[in-house]
């Protein structure tokens, strides 16, 4: 595990299953229509039960760059922040990715979240490169955590060495 | 249209194009002389001779024109001469999607028959990759790709469900063999064999896992299965996404290395074998020191080395063998499966054409995940159906899970009286188990004794078949043919399980499932969907209610039904013989 202290908050790089973590909230990289779909959406549907999907039906659709919060049903975490980020090389990718990071952190603060987990935002299926992802995520997290915050632990949860290695390198320069 | 009005997606598509071009692809894009030889190789073309848009050369031309316009000097200088053409709109990208995903299974039969060595399938895969890069793909491709990226396997099987299935299979195996040590070892360090599987085996065909486990047990192998990163399939091969291909392969290789496994054995899956054995290290851009082989070779080795004994007389039907495209054309795995089949079955009938010239099962290239193309796929399966029928065999054997589904679907569509199985099933069936653990012949404690199962199906034959079969194994059965009566009957009878057809007149299975789940008296009843129309699966899974506990595609045989019913009801044992 790699970690850094930024003021009163610990920023961690963790390898594991984000949808099985016991945290106050985790961020789910969502679609504008807020349909859970497959991938981590499968995990939310199966582990959380139908409640999450029902709650989302009243909230969507939402614009790219914004986020909404739902309860987490029967999952180990308490809440899910559904963050709608850029997908498949869409225009202004970096700006939108920064916006969705800020929107997610804002929602976390509004909900009094103390422990929060992020996936590598938009990498993999949605095609954000790991280079852009780590740059934007760590920039935005550092900027946010250097200000007033209730967050005490923020985890970036990677699935494999492909994601872990570039983030580990980036943590060194934090 | 001009460069200034080109859509954002089209721009990104063209920006990506040079990065996707290898020497092999460029050679294929410039080498075609449009001689027409490929038209006689393609199962789409052979089944649709009236439609030239299915011709491999025509399909490859769609990417070739763009390549000529933007990369090749001929198209940049004389675009009108070489039919060079650009892409400008999202609608044109959608047209390309229809061709790349809906009119080719990337089976490579045309590639093998091209005198110029043009690899049409690789060109088509390149086109798929370009489209996926900008988010233009069939919904099914998106669903499966996202599952593999984020959950780590193509079918979104969660770790707890996978482990539970292995434990259940272990309980069953030790019960059947009378050996408490006959279990599936998980995450054993320094094992001689690390066994990787297709997620379809966990979800729809757990018997193939227990059959493999039985063979490893009989061979006294030091083996294990990984607790995670166990999926040897790779949707990157189908979607053209090299990043996914590399990531999926890397996870599996690194897990084997972490366990210090001496050999990675890949269960019977054509695209999984090709991806893992031949392609993943190229996509990952890295070599991994992992020794690997197909389970077909492992099973053959066990017999030749005398580690397992088989009695071929136990497999009593007539068998033909279907070569998976990826195994035969891309990996040369053609003789070992035949040798193994001849060792475990007395009546083998060769299919013609065969080996590298065999026709695709028509479900390859991810076609089974793209329901919008199902009618086209099944129409194009005509040539395959004729080929199967001509063998006169009652069972078609294949070493590919994708082919099992593709063949099962076309066999049903063309009403062929055939079943599909895999070599692992035949080897397990033929195993000669040492006498000390052989089951005694006497009376039986029936596996489903004391259980009540409601069978819901509007087809009288299916209703009778499922009811009789479940009753034979001890269940009290309640047949219901009218979907409007299910809720009422369920409230009255309180069955342990309901088997539910989807396509029924008046009310589909999805609506029935909703009614059951929303009623407090019936919400906890377990449900197993059994359908002959997999394309209607969305009627079930798109609903907000809890999904069914089980799912089976028709045709369903006795073993498949019982295995799944027992899994859902968490019954560890088959019918158990007892001494009188």
Domains and CATH numbers, chain B: 3-137 (1.10.1060), 159-304 (3.40.50), 312-430 (3.40.50), 443-578 (3.40.50.2300)
How many CB pairs lie under 8 A apart between chains A and B? 83
Give me A150's structure tokens.
């209730």
Task: Please report the DSSP string for B141-183 in residue order.
Answer: HHHHHHHHHHTSSTT---HHHHHHHHHHHHHHHHHHHT-TT--
What's the gap in Å between the CA of A161 and the closest CA on chain B? Answer: 8
Phi, psi of A12 (to 5 degrees): -120, 150
Of B145, B152, B247, the CB nearest to A162: B247
Residue B156: its chain A contacts at CB < 8 A? 38-39, 42-43, 46
pLDDT tens profile B330-379 = 999 999 999 999 999 999 999 999 999 999 999 999 999 999 999 999 99
What's the gap in Å between the CA of B191 and the closest CA on chain A? Answer: 23
Nearest residue to B266 via CA among B194, B331, B326, B340: B194
* Of B208 and B531, the one with more pLDDT: B208
DSSP code for A160: S
ipTM reported for the complex surpasses 0.90: yes
pLDDT tens profile A65-82 = 999 999 999 999 999 999
Whether B238 and B455 have beta carbons less than 8 Å apart is answered as no
Q: Cβ of A38 and B159 within 8 Å?
A: no
In three-state secondary structure terms, A73 is coil
d(CA B122, CA B128): 10
Give me A161's structure tokens.
């060495």
Give the model's pLDDT for residue B327: 97
Residue A41: its chain B contacts at CB < 8 A? 146
d(CA B112, CA A106): 57
Q: Is the pLDDT of residue B467 over 90?
A: no
Q: Is the pLDDT of residue B438 over 50?
A: no
Closest alpha carbon within chain B to A51: B544
Nearest residue to A35 via CA among B318, B198, B327, B143: B143
Q: Is the pLDDT of residue B538 over 90?
A: no
Closest alpha carbon within chain A to B548: A46
Residue B249: its chain A contacts at CB < 8 A? none
- Tokens 């070992």 identify what position? B336
* Of A159 and B181, the one with more pLDDT: A159
d(CA B81, CA B75): 8
Q: Cβ of A125 and B246 within 8 Å?
A: no
Give the model's pLDDT for residue B567: 85
> What is the set of domains in chain A, with CATH numbers?
2-172 (3.40.220.10)
Which whole number is the average pLDDT over B472-494? Answer: 89
Closest alpha carbon within chain A to B137: A88
Nearest residue to B252 via CA among B239, B236, A48: B236
Of A38, A90, A127, the CB nearest to B156: A38
Q: How confident is the model at residue B574 (pLDDT cuts 50, 70, 90)?
A: low
Whether A69 and A80 have beta carbons less than 8 Å apart is answered as yes
Q: Is the pLDDT of residue B437 over 70?
A: no
What's the gap in Å between the CA of A141 and the closest CA on chain B? Answer: 23
d(CA B137, CA B116): 30
Of B147-156, B545-554, B565-574, where does mean pLDDT reach its minimum?
B565-574
d(CA A79, CA A61): 19
d(CA B182, CA B174): 5
B565, containing H or E segment: helix B558-568
Q: Is the pLDDT of residue B442 over 80?
A: no
Q: Cβ of B151 and A39 within 8 Å?
A: yes
pLDDT tens profile B376-388 = 999 999 999 999 9
Nearest residue to B153 via CA among A121, A74, A161, A38: A38
Nearest residue to B298 via CA among B271, B335, B266: B266
Give the model's pLDDT for residue B441: 40
* Of B504 and B111, the one with more pLDDT: B111
Q: Is the pLDDT of residue B440 over 50?
A: no
Q: Cβ of B159 and A127 within 8 Å?
A: no
Rounded CA Rg of chain B: 25
Q: What is the mean pLDDT of chain B?
A: 93
d(CA B532, CA B413): 10
Bridge-based pairing of strands A9-15 and A2-6 is: antiparallel
Residue B413: Cβ within 10 Å count: 18
Give the model's pLDDT for residue B576: 54
Closest alpha carbon within chain B to A128: B133
Give the model's pLDDT for residue B573: 62
Locate all alpha helices (DSSP H) within B505-557, ordered by sequence.
Answer: 509-518, 537-541
Of A39, A47, A88, the CB nearest to B150: A39
The dihedral of CA B542, B543, B548, B553: what is its sign? negative
Of A42, A57, A87, the CB nearest to B147: A42
Give the model's pLDDT for residue B445: 62
Residue B257: its chain A contacts at CB < 8 A? none
Residues in chain A, pLDDT under 70? none
Q: Cβ of B149 and A124 within 8 Å?
A: yes
> Which residues of chain A have a Cβ shorter than 8 Å from any chain B Cβ?
17, 20, 37-43, 45-47, 49-50, 53-54, 57, 87-91, 119, 124-125, 127, 159-162
Bridge-based pairing of strands B319-322 and B443-445 is: unpaired
What's the gap in Å between the CA of B143 and the closest CA on chain A? Answer: 5
Give the model's pLDDT for residue B575: 63
Q: How confident is the model at residue B544 (pLDDT cuts 50, 70, 90)?
A: confident
What's the gap in Å between the CA of B48 and the closest CA on chain A? Answer: 34
Phi, psi of A135 (to 5 degrees): -65, -50
Task: Please report the DSSP string for B245-269 in residue order.
Answer: HHHHHHHHHHHHHHHT-S-EEE-S-
> Which residues of chain B have a Cβ shorter than 8 Å from any chain A Cβ?
8-9, 12, 133-135, 142-147, 149-152, 156, 158-159, 161, 229, 243-244, 246-247, 250-251, 254, 544-547
Phi, psi of B36 (to 5 degrees): 95, 0
Residue A160: its chain B contacts at CB < 8 A? 229, 247, 250-251, 254
Of B274-283, B311-320, B418-427, B502-511, where does mean pLDDT reach its minimum?
B502-511
Q: Cβ of B250 and A160 within 8 Å?
A: yes
Of B125-139, B401-415, B495-509, B536-550, where does mean pLDDT reach its minimum?
B536-550
């Amino acid at each position: 595990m790699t970690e850094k202290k930024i003021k009163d908050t610990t920023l961690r790089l963790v390898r594991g299953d984000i949808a099985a973590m016991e945290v106050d909230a985790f961020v789910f990289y969502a679609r504008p229509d807020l349909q859970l779909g497959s991938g981590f959406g499968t995990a939310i549907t199966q582990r959380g039960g139908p409640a999450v999907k029902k709650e989302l039906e009243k909230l969507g659709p939402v614009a790219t760059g914004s986020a909404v919060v739902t309860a987490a049903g029967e999952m180990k975490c308490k809440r899910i922040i559904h963050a709608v980020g850029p997908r498949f090389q869409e225009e202004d990718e970096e700006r939108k990715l920064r916006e969705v990071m800020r929107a997610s952190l804002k929602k976390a603060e509004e909900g009094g979240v103390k422990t929060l987990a992020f996936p590598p935002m938009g990498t993999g299926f949605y095609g954000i490169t790991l280079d852009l992802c780590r740059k934007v995520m760590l920039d935005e997290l550092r900027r946010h955590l250097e200000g007033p915050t209730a967050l005490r632990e923020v985890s970036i949860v990677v699935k494999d060495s492909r994601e872990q290695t570039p983030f580990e390198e980036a943590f060194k320069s934090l | 249209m001009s460069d200034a009005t080109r859509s954002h997606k089209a721009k990104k598509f063209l920006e990506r194009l040079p990065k996707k071009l290898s020497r092999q692809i460029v050679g294929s894009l410039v080498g075609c002389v449009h001689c027409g030889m490929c038209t006689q190789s393609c199962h789409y073309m052979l089944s649709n001779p009236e439609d030239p848009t299915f011709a491999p050369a025509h399909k490859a031309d769609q990417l070739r024109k763009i390549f000529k316009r933007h990369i090749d000097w001929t198209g940049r200088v004389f675009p009108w001469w070489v039919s060079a053409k650009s892409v400008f709109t999202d609608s044109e990208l959608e047209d390309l999607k229809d061709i790349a995903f809906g009119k080719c299974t990337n089976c490579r039969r045309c590639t093998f028959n091209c005198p110029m060595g043009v690899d049409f399938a690789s060109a088509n895969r390149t086109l798929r990759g370009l489209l996926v890069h900008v988010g233009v793909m069939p919904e099914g491709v998106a669903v499966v790709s996202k599952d593999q990226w984020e959950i780590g396997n193509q079918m979104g099987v969660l770790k707890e469900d996978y482990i539970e299935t292995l434990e259940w299979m272990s309980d069953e195996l030790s019960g059947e063999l009378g050996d408490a040590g006959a279990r599936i070892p998980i995450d054993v360090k320094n094992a001689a064999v690390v066994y990787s599987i297709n997620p379809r085996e966990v979800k729809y065909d757990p018997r193939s896992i227990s059959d493999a486990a039985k063979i490893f047990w009989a061979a006294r192998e030091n083996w294990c299965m990984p607790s995670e990163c166990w999926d040897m399939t790779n949707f990157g091969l189908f979607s053209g996404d090299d990043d996914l291909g590399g990531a999926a392969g890397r996870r599996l290789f690194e897990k084997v290395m972490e366990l210090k496994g001496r050999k990675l054995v890949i269960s019977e899956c054509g695209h999984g074998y090709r991806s893992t054995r031949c392609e993943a290290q190229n996509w990952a851009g890295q070599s991994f020191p992992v020794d690997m082989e197909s389970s077909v070779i492992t099973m053959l080795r066990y017999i030749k080395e005398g580690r397992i004994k088989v009695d071929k007389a136990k497999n009593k039907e007539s068998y033909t063998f279907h070569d998976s495209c990826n195994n035969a054309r891309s990996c040369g795995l053609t003789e070992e499966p035949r040798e193994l089949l001849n060792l475990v079955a007395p009546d083998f009938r060769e299919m013609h054409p065969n080996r590298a010239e065999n026709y695709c099962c028509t479900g390859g290239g991810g076609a089974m995940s793209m329901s919008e193309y199902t009618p086209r796929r099944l129409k194009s399966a005509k040539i395959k159906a004729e080929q199967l029928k001509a063998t006169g065999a009652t069972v078609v054997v294949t070493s590919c899970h994708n082919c099992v589904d593709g063949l099962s679907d076309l066999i049903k569509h063309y009403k062929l009286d055939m079943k599909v199985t895999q070599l692992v099933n035949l080897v397990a069936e033929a195993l000669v188990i040492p006498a000390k653990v052989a089951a005694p012949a006497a009376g039986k404690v029936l596996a489903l004794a004391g259980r009540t199962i409601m069978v819901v199906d509007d087809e009288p034959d299916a209703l009778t078949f499922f009811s009789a079969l479940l009753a034979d194994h001890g269940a009290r059965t309640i047949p219901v043919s009218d979907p409007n009566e299910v809720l009422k009957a369920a409230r009255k009878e309180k069955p342990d399980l309901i088997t539910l057809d989807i396509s029924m007149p008046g009310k589909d299975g999805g609506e029935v499932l909703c009614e059951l789940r929303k009623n407090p008296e019936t919400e906890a009843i377990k449900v197993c969907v059994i359908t002959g129309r997999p394309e209607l699966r969305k009627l079930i899974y798109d609903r907000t209610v809890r999904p069914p506990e089980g799912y089976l595609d028709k045709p369903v045989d006795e073993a498949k039904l019982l295995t799944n019913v027992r899994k859902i009801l968490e019954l560890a044992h088959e019918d158990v013989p007892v001494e009188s």
